[in-house]
């Protein structure tokens, strides 16, 4: 079974409900990466999200694009906040990805007020992104972010510029977080109004890595590992039809995530999610 496709905002692209988070490729060899490509085709995943900060990920994806560029909506990011730095990073990503255009270019982790001011000011990174779009190097522009303030910051950014997509955390615990949920709901409503695509991350997070625990995954948080728990979490996130789920940054977790998404059923009930929270010991990914 393949994963269902959903309209990716105003872009006109029908993207798989699960977007491949290429952070999973950051520290793997090309043979391992090519095995992931086979998995993407098996489940009909047609949207890739990467970034220069993801180690060797862009370099691992580059060989795929030599043969399969037309099969994927390709997104990457820039972490630079000034025009010169962003322009350099865009061209570097084009080279590493072996493509003449990027479908979606996103400003990476745009959550701090001082960085937002720099990005939108004269000589800021936004000028490089708009220029790249005018030159046909980039089709669409977006913003991403982590942390409990990101939804509120995205609202402010959307007031300053008409971005085509956003990315922010979303899972059962976040949905019940008193400080996060109101801003998330308001931002989602604004995106629906403007037909802005909404990507979500940390859908299978248990919580931050606990003190004294040696991470056994390449994710920035401690993920769920039980296949049933992953399935329930994926079904809950994708039970919201207006959003996408970006897969976790660990190659070994991908089969369970894709399989769960390909067998999408009704959204788990509040009672089922509360039981999962208790069983898995879910904690705040925001540290508060």
Q: Which of 119, 172, 124 is nearest to 143 (CA)?
A: 119
Cβ atoms of residues 146 and 51 within 8 Å: no
pLDDT tens for the chain, residues 1 to 288? 899 999 999 999 999 999 999 999 999 999 999 999 999 999 999 999 999 999 999 999 999 999 999 999 999 999 999 999 999 999 999 999 999 999 999 999 999 999 999 999 999 999 999 999 999 999 999 999 999 999 999 999 999 999 999 999 999 999 999 999 999 999 999 999 999 999 999 999 999 998 889 999 999 999 999 999 999 999 999 999 999 999 999 999 999 999 999 999 999 999 999 999 999 999 999 987
Cα–Cα distance measured from residue 68 to residue 61, given in angstroms and rounded to the nearest whole number: 10
pLDDT of residue 95: 98
pLDDT of residue 17: 99
DSSP for 171-218? SHHHHT-TTTHHHHHHHHHHHHHHT-EEEEE-TTEEESPPTTPPP-SS
pLDDT of residue 230: 98
pLDDT of residue 253: 98
Instruction: For domain 5-280, give the CATH superfamily.
Output: NADP-dependent oxidoreductase domain (3.20.20.100)
pLDDT of residue 272: 98
pLDDT of residue 210: 87
All residues at 6 or more sequence positions from 199 whose CB lies less than 8 Å from its CB, including other chains: 19, 49, 144, 165, 166, 167, 168, 243, 244, 245, 246
Q: Which two tokens stand for residue 95?
A: 């080279």
Per this entry, what is the length of the chain?
288
DSSP for 155-167? HHHHHHS--SEEE
Cα–Cα distance measured from residue 50 to residue 12, given in angstroms and rounded to the nearest whole number: 20
Q: Tell me how crowded residue 5 is: count the other CB atoms within 10 A of its CB.
A: 14
Longest dimension (CA), the chain: 52
pLDDT of residue 211: 85
SS3 call for 127? helix
Cβ atoms of residues 96 and 62 within 8 Å: yes
């Amino acid at each position: 079974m393949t994963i269902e496709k959903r309209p990716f905002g105003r872009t006109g692209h029908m993207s798989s409900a699960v977007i491949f988070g290429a952070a999973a490729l950051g520290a793997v060899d090309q043979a391992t990466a090519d095995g992931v490509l086979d998995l993407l085709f098996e489940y009909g995943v047609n949207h890739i999200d990467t970034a220069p900060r993801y180690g060797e990920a862009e370099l691992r994806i580059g060989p795929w694009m030599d043969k399969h560029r037309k099969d994927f909506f390709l997104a990457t990011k820039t972490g630079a906040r000034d025009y010169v730095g962003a322009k350099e990073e865009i061209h570097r990503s084009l080279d590493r990805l072996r493509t003449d255009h990027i479908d979606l270019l996103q400003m990476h982790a745009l959550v701090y007020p001082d960085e937002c001011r720099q990005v939108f000011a004269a000589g800021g990174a936004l000028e490089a992104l708009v220029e790249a779009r005018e030159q046909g190097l980039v089709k669409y522009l977006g913003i991403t972010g982590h942390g409990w303030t990101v939804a509120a910051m995205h609202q402010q950014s959307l007031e300053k510029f008409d971005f085509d997509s956003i990315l922010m955390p979303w899972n059962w615990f976040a949905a019940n977080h008193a400080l996060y949920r109101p801003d998330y709901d308001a931002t989602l409503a604004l995106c629906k109004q403007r037909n802005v695509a909404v990507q979500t991350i940390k859908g299978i997070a248990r919580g931050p890595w606990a003190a004294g625990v040696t991470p056994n995954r390449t994710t920035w948080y401690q993920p769920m590992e039980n296949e049933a728990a992953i399935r329930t979490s994926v079904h809950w996130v994708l039970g919201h039809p207006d959003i996408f789920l970006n897969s976790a940054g660990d190659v070994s977790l991908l089969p369970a995530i894709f399989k769960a998404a390909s067998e999408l059923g009704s959204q788990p009930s509040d009672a089922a999610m509360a039981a999962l929270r208790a069983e898995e010991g879910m904690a705040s990914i925001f540290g508060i």
